[in-house]
């Protein structure tokens, strides 16, 4: 296996992982262009296609390709688990020195893989393609901005570093990702967590030729929500801050009631003491619940399910470990 000190494209085995969902009309063309690119470059490669329980004939297309080409592996998921889980499943079937992830709709032109690989051989273990002019819809651009905020604040992405689904991940990083147990995998975040040298390279981004994106705004919000709760204690820490702020306000209210009772004497008997007890009790309970929540968040981050998916069928991989 090549090391970062001895890298050259000709010495690498390059794996390409492509999640597939309802792409019957385009995935065959995507495969052909990927194969053609590597054949023209004379680079060693393999392609792992993960069918995420498509409702059309996508599985039939990729199964046929895997049956007739030993460089292609087709994996059929038992349910629709989402793109990030499909990536993780695909990683399990790769043997390459590095892994390329890309979409199934040719919005990531296979010819742009060369730019990722050439940057990788400079010594980077995570290379992400960035798009000068994205062909996504407006809500996708909003969602991308939200994900960039999360990547920067949760995964400490370097200033200006951008994440997309078109990326190259070195084998050591892939191995670390596969060892990390998380019920809600997020490929970009885990790649950032376990890589040492990251780089962006500008690549072309094409308009989708057929069909439409399977992502919608609600899915993007759901993904952001899952990331915040599974990769950080940010929500709990916000609540802790709110708890202390409300507790402080409660103490001020209680103090105000006591002073007003002393100065004016026009508060009903027992009212001041009752408000004081309630305010102090709520303050203490809020702080205690916040602290308990903080501990639960830490425990949840460390206790993960070992396997959160299942696969129905694999074609082109002799030693499938399911």
pLDDT of residue 191: 92
The reply to whether 149 and 265 lie within a common domain is: no
204 part of a folded domain: yes
- C-beta separation of 127 from 199 below 8 A: yes
- In the chain, the number of structural domains is 2
The reply to whether 184 and 281 lie within a common domain is: no
SS3 72: strand
Tell whether the torsion through CA atoms of 203, 207, 209 and 213 is positive or negative.
Answer: positive
Name the domain boundary from 206, 231, 256.
231
pLDDT of residue 321: 44
pLDDT of residue 244: 76
CATH number for 159: 3.90.550.10
The reply to whether 70 and 218 lie within a common domain is: yes
pLDDT of residue 125: 95
Distance CA 35, CA 275 (A): 74
The reply to whether 169 and 287 lie within a common domain is: no
217 part of a folded domain: yes
The reply to whether 193 and 280 lie within a common domain is: no
Distance CA 260, CA 254 (A): 10
What is the tens place of the pLDDT at every residue in 242-259? Answer: 767 777 777 777 777 777
Query: What predicted TM-score, i.e. pTM, was given to this entire model?
Result: 0.73
Distance CA 64, CA 66 (A): 6
Which stretches of the chain drop beneath a pLDDT of 70?
A: 1-7, 133-147, 151, 153, 208-219, 223-225, 229-230, 232-233, 235-236, 239, 243, 265-277, 280-281, 284, 288, 291, 294-295, 297-310, 318-322
The reply to whether 244 and 114 lie within a common domain is: no
The reply to whether 94 and 208 lie within a common domain is: yes
Q: What is the 3-state secondary structure (H, E, C) of 147-171?
A: HHHHHHHHCCCCCCCCCCCCEEEEH
pLDDT of residue 320: 41
132 part of a folded domain: yes
DSSP annotation of 101 reads E
320 part of a folded domain: no
53 part of a folded domain: yes
The reply to whether 240 and 222 lie within a common domain is: no
pLDDT of residue 212: 60
309 part of a folded domain: no
* End-to-end C-alpha distance for the chain, whole angstroms: 25
Name the domain boundary from 190, 216, 231.
231
The reply to whether 47 and 181 lie within a common domain is: yes
Beta strands in 208-304 (DSSP E): none
Angle formed by the axes of helices 83-92 and 187-194, nearest 10°: 50
pLDDT of residue 71: 96
Beta strands in the chain (DSSP E): 13-20, 44-51, 72-77, 98-101, 126-131, 167-170, 198-203, 311-315
76 part of a folded domain: yes
The reply to whether 61 and 109 lie within a common domain is: yes
Name the domain boundary from 208, 231, 254.
231
The reply to whether 106 and 194 lie within a common domain is: yes
267 part of a folded domain: yes
Let me know how many helices (H) and strands (E) the chain has, helices first: 10, 8
Residue 50: φ, ψ to 5°: -115, 110
The reply to whether 227 and 244 lie within a common domain is: no
pLDDT of residue 266: 63
Chain mean position to CA 68: 32
Range(s) of the domain holding residue 269: 234-302
């Amino acid at each position: 296996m090549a090391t970062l000190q001895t890298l050259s494209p000709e010495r690498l085995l390059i794996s390409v992982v492509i999640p597939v969902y309802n792409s019957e009309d385009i995935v065959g063309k995507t495969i052909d262009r990927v194969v053609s690119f590597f054949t023209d470059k004379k680079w060693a490669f393999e392609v792992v296609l993960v069918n995420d329980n498509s409702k059309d004939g996508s599985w039939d297309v990729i199964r046929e390709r895997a049956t007739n080409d030993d460089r292609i592996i087709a994996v059929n998921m038992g349910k629709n688990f989402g793109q990030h889980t499909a990536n993780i499943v695909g990683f399990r079937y790769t043997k390459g020195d590095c892994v390329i992830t890309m979409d199934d709709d040719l919005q990531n032109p296979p010819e742009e893989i060369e730019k990722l690989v050439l940057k990788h051989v400079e010594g980077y273990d995570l290379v992400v393609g960035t798009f000068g002019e994205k062909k996504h819809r407006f809500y996708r651009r909003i969602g991308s901005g939200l994900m960039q905020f999360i990547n920067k604040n949760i995964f400490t992405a370097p200033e200006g570093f951008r994440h997309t689904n078109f990326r190259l991940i070195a084998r050591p990083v892939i191995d670390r990702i596969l060892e990390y147990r998380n019920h809600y995998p997020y490929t970009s975040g885990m790649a950032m967590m376990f890589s040492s040298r990251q780089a962006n390279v500008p690549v072309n981004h094409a308009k989708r030729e057929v069909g439409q994106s399977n992502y919608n705004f609600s899915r993007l919000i759901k993904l952001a929500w899952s990331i915040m709760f599974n990769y950080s204690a940010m929500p709990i820490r916000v609540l802790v801050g709110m708890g202390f702020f409300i507790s402080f306000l409660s103490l001020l209210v209680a103090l105000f009631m006591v002073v007003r009772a002393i100065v004016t004497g026009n508060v009903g008997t027992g009212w001041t003491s009752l408000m004081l007890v309630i305010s102090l009790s709520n303050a203490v309970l809020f702080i205690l619940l916040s602290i308990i929540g903080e501990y639960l968040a830490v425990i949840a981050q460390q206790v993960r399910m070992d396997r959160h998916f299942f696969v129905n069928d694999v074609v082109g991989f002799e030693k499938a470990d399911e």
